[in-house]
Amino acid sequence: MIDFTLKLYKKLIISLLEQNYKIFTFEEFCKGERAEKFIILRHDVDEMADNALEMAKIEKALGVRATYNFRTVKQSNKPDIIRAIAALGHEIGYHYEDLAFADGDFEHAISTFRQNLEYFRQFYLVKTVCMHGSSTSKYDNRDLWKYHSIEDEGLLGEPYLSINFDNIYYISDTGYRWDGFKTAVRDVVKSGFSNVYHHTNDIILAVKNNEFPAQAMILAHTLWSNNFFKWTGIWSREFFRNNIKKISKKNKFINKIYSYFVKLYWER
Ligand SMILES: [Zn+2]
């Protein structure tokens, strides 16, 4: 059965609600909201912002709020969509990659970070940010916080700094699979959990059987689609990309070519 359709996404959220999970935005979590069973629901809008709006509507219909992190690249930064998602009651966050864009120039990176944060605050009073993995850059965007503090920027949290993933289970659909941490370069966390799921149905089954961790952050990118052609296109691309990533981890030449095309693809 094909995975990562919006239909299946809806099923996943319903299964969590049926098993009495409370669903929080990351901002709510940072403000101290807790429950016996809870999910911090996070979406990194790397691209296909229109898909994000579809997910946001599904959640709204189920009475759920989530965090949508937007980038400054054109594929993500669509003002009408950001406004519409905020209007549905969701949290807007900034998916920053300033250090990678600044080629490691910390001065420049913090200055563009502040400008971009201001920009996104016209849509929503942004209180949380989250780094973009920038897998082809040698710079880790989080390193910005070695010299600056998020509190000074009026922020409450950054998942990779603010959450102890030994206590809160982390799962991400990076690369159109829930067990893609093998190919992820930076979207990986140290974890005290050994639960591994491949298909969304595996998660739904675990939730129903009460085997899914009681407290988790779910990162769902916004590539889920009910449109068969769109879905097939994304699936093929992710399959190709996962393999290229694997190869370019070991081969510097391939890595250079891949990085070049990645730079071309993301318009600023
Ligand atoms: Zn990202």
pLDDT for res 37: 98
Measured in angstroms, how far is the CA atom of residue 68 from the centroid of ligand 1? 11
Measured in angstroms, how far is the CA atom of residue 130 from the centroid of ligand 1? 8
Measured in angstroms, how far is the CA atom of residue 134 from the centroid of ligand 1? 7
Alpha helices, DSSP H only, in 68-214? Answer: 79-87, 98-101, 106-120, 159-162, 200-208
Cα–Cα distance for residue pair 229/234, rounded to 1 Å? 9
Measured in angstroms, how far is the CA atom of residue 96 from the centroid of ligand 1? 8
Model-level pTM? 0.92
Measured in angstroms, how far is the CA atom of residue 90 from the centroid of ligand 1? 18
pLDDT for res 69: 98
**pLDDT < 50 positions in the chain:** none
Measured in angstroms, how far is the CA atom of residue 76 from the centroid of ligand 1? 10
Measured in angstroms, how far is the CA atom of residue 210 from the centroid of ligand 1? 30
Q: Copy the structure tokens of residue 22.
A: 């409370």
Q: What is the pLDDT of residues 164-222, one digit of tens each?
A: 999 999 999 988 899 987 666 676 777 889 999 999 999 999 999 999 999 999 999 99
pLDDT for res 247: 83
pLDDT for res 183: 65
Whether 174 contacts 198, CB under 8 Å: no
Show the domains of the chain with their CATH numbers: 6-232 (3.20.20)
Cβ neighbours of residue 210 closer than 8 Å, sequence gap 6 or more? 19
Measured in angstroms, how far is the CA atom of residue 172 from the centroid of ligand 1? 11
pLDDT for res 66: 98
pLDDT for res 185: 64
